[in-house]
Amino acid sequence: MKYDMIKVYGQDLNSKFRLQLKACATFSLARMLPKRKRLLDNVSLDIHVRHHDCEGEARFKDGDNVYRPRNFQIIIDKHRLVKDDYQRECSETEHAHKIFETLCHECVHVKQYLTNELTLRTGNLFWKGHHYDVESMLDYHETPYEIEAYGRQRGLLLGFLSIISELEDEIEY
């Protein structure tokens, strides 16, 4: 992905963190779509870090072609990520990692949209042409698109963290 095609919106984010968010999205999509550089060069992404009704969401930008989406928004609510599942306050590093991991998760959905595995038709999601009724959190976690997103978010996070530590080592020396 081209860095100038990624924009980060949000208050209280320093320039290093903004750059890391761009690097995280770029890494995740390149990792999931190897040899698809030309496709990825046509993708634009706005990352919004703000209050939202869930921890993260990936969606098309207004006016994008729903049959061939290339322009995406990812919204991350960092305020929902300050505590862990057991209501324990996270350290600053842990909080940052949770934001990156959420971004990785949403990038999996962007990948699914780019490959048309996941499609949106008249407000309904279809996975490889099949619509899954989601009426509970259990249903949600059992959809194939969430299984893939939860299944890959950790590996993508760890891969991203290993490359940023290398980049930062390079800067230091």
To Zn ion, the closest distance from the beta carbon of 134 in angstroms equals 11
Which residue has its beta carbon closest to Zn ion? 149
Q: Is position 76 an interface residue for Zn ion (rule: CB under 5 A)?
A: no
Q: Is position 104 an interface residue for Zn ion (rule: CB under 5 A)?
A: no
- Return d(Cα 171, Cα 1) in angstroms, integer: 22
To Zn ion, the closest distance from the beta carbon of 68 in angstroms equals 21
| 106 burial type by CB count under 10 A (0-12 exposed, 13-18 middle, 19+ buried) | buried
Q: What is the DSSP letter of 47?
A: E
Strands (E) located in the chain = 6-10, 44-49, 56-60, 71-76, 118-121, 124-127
Rank residues 42 and 57 by Cβ distance to Zn ion and give the closer one. Answer: 57
Query: Do 24 and 104 touch, CB atoms closer than 8 A?
Result: yes
Rank residues 138 and 171 by Cβ distance to Zn ion and give the closer one. Answer: 138
To Zn ion, the closest distance from the beta carbon of 146 in angstroms equals 5
To Zn ion, the closest distance from the beta carbon of 109 in angstroms equals 6
| Binds Zn ion (CB under 5 A): choice among 25, 29, 75, 149 | 149
Rank residues 49 and 149 by Cβ distance to Zn ion and give the closer one. Answer: 149
To Zn ion, the closest distance from the beta carbon of 5 in angstroms equals 22
CA distances to 30, 94, 96, 114 from 91, rounded to whole Å, are 29, 5, 9, 34
Contacts with Zn ion by CB under 5 A lie at 146, 149
